[in-house]
Amino acid sequence: MSHRRRWSRRSFLTATGASLTGAALFSLNIDSNRSPSALTPEALAVERVVQPETLEKSNLVIGYVPVNDCAPFAIAWKKGFFRKYGLNVKLNREASWATSRDGVVFGRLDAAPVVSGAVTNARTGAEGARSAPICAAMTIHRHGNAITMNRAMWDAGIRPWQDYNGNLDAFRQDFHRYFNSLPSEERIMAVVLSSAIYEYFVRYIVAAVGINPLEEFRIIIVPPPQMLVNMRIGAMQAYMVAEPWNTRAIKGNEGIGFTFAQGREIWRGHPDRLLAVQESFINENPKTYRSLVKAMIEACQYCSDPNNRQEVAELISERSFTGAKPKMTRPAILGNYDYGGFDERSRVVNKPDETTVFFDIPSELAAAEGNIAGNHSTFLWQSQSLWLMTQSARWGQIPAIPPQAEKIAREAWRTDLYRDIAAEMGIACPKEDYKVEPGTLFMDNKSFDPSDLDGYLKSFEIRANRPTNISLA
């Protein structure tokens, strides 16, 4: 390709700019005058099964980010699930995924959602991540995210991934043609957090079409609410973010881009958000921790129920949460998802059970994963933490897969505690911590076997620090 330039990890981090910061004032509700100042009558009417005085810490500050992912937090607050388990929770609206993560790392927040990868990389000390002993208590949801490409990419002939019917070669030709036409300073994509699954997905796609993202390509970090304005001014060619910030971009809404692919088309069944806490919080507040996880599991179950999804989509449209119109929040919650496009073709895909997975695993996905007994969305598969480590090593954020990778995954993703808590709620869990991810779940049909991490890493032709063969004549 022309205009070749190698972007170092340092230059990538420099390009992201400083992360936004925020401070929280304690109350029993949501910060920044974005909501009512008292709990809802519905929540106050809930009978407590745990009394606050029996907990080590009943007053909690919990973060959330204004994307559809906040649904379980909004439901736990409005429906009284926090109150049911003895918790007086103040929800704190975070400016970005960096501040949500950092709020837990530095103790400003007792708990918060984080992008998948943030916990694992905090334990491995990956470059671009915060190094800290934080833990994942549960998966908040799977899927619910997408990649948006700008109008220029459409005009160049690139179409949504579903239009290619799995033909990676056809997409490769279209993508190469467009990127070859760009000067190096315009080869930019955006994600919401460095060293996390969205960055890995963007790199995964680009590498799959034969472009080395470490050499040809720059990734910048942009908070979710700022994605549209940055695309509008030409700051990036594409971005990956949670909904509703993809739906807002398509024709009929903002009209600045189209959805190339949902994250579930890159890795079907991937964990999108995790509930993060400090390890010390678990050790010092074991009863509080169990109450928190139970409240969030019940909230996820509520969001998962098809009868509740319309209510959920409307709740998160409130100014306190996403502030987006219900027509923006509905598609990823109800599943009638529109990829958009600038022709007259309809690209609405109706997948009500799989667009965002909060608790129940859809039957088709369950079959693709092998119909594992007890499997559900909030369960923590430690093998998926290992997958994240392989991608961190693939892109040079850690020098190699740690020899103690399984120990790191076990300490970071607290599957052991989750099983105990779920059992108290009468919820069955898988007996194993690891599972093979079949190739049919990935866009490039490459399966992941957690028993052979090095073999999996070396199977990628494009990766950092790959040995180069030199012929001498």
Beta bridge partners of 112: 276
Report the pLDDT value the prediction gives residue 19, as an integer from 0 to 100: 35
For residues 33-56, average pLDDT: 84
Q: Is there a domain that residue 161 lies in?
A: yes
Which of 123, 129, 52 has the alpha carbon at shortest distance from 89? 52
- Checking DSSP bridges between strand 145-150 and strand 238-242, what pairing results, if any? antiparallel
**Tokens 């599991």 correspond to what residue?**
297
Q: Is there a domain that residue 291 lies in?
A: no
Report the pLDDT value the prediction gives residue 33, as an integer from 0 to 100: 52
- Domain span holding position 152: 9-16+145-267
Average predicted confidence (pLDDT) for the chain: 91
DSSP state of 167: -
Say whether pLDDT at 22 is over 80.
no
- Checking DSSP bridges between strand 218-221 and strand 336-338, what pairing results, if any? unpaired
Say whether pLDDT at 5 is over 50.
no
Say whether pLDDT at 302 is over 90.
yes
What are 186-212's pLDDT values in tens digits? 999 999 999 999 999 999 999 998 889
pLDDT band for 472, please (50, 70, 90 cuts): very low
Beta bridge partners of 191: 221
Reading phi first (left if > 0) and then psi (alpha if -120 to 50, else beta), residue 9 is in: alpha
Q: 10 Å Cβ neighbour count for 80?
A: 22
Report the pLDDT value the prediction gives residue 183, as an integer from 0 to 100: 94
Report the pLDDT value the prediction gives residue 347, as an integer from 0 to 100: 97
Say whether pLDDT at 36 is over 90.
no
**Tokens 């050790």 correspond to what residue?**
283
Say whether pLDDT at 229 is over 50.
yes
Q: Is there a domain that residue 226 lies in?
A: yes
Q: Is there a domain that residue 228 lies in?
A: yes
Structure-block tokens of residue 4? 């070749």
Say whether pLDDT at 162 is over 60.
yes
Q: Is there a domain that residue 420 lies in?
A: no
For residues 390-410, average pLDDT: 97
What are 332-349's pLDDT values in tens digits? 999 999 999 999 999 999
Q: Is there a domain that residue 353 lies in?
A: no
CATH number of the domain to which 149 belongs: 3.40.190.10
Q: Is there a domain that residue 156 lies in?
A: yes
Domains: count for the chain: 1
For residues 310-327, average pLDDT: 95
Structure-block tokens of residue 224? 């979710």
Say whether pLDDT at 470 is over 60.
no
Residues 296 and 290: their CA atoms lie apart, in Å, by 10
Helix locations, 19-96, DSSP H = 41-44, 71-78, 81-84
pLDDT band for 3, please (50, 70, 90 cuts): very low
Say whether pLDDT at 401 is over 80.
yes
Q: Is there a domain that residue 96 lies in?
A: no
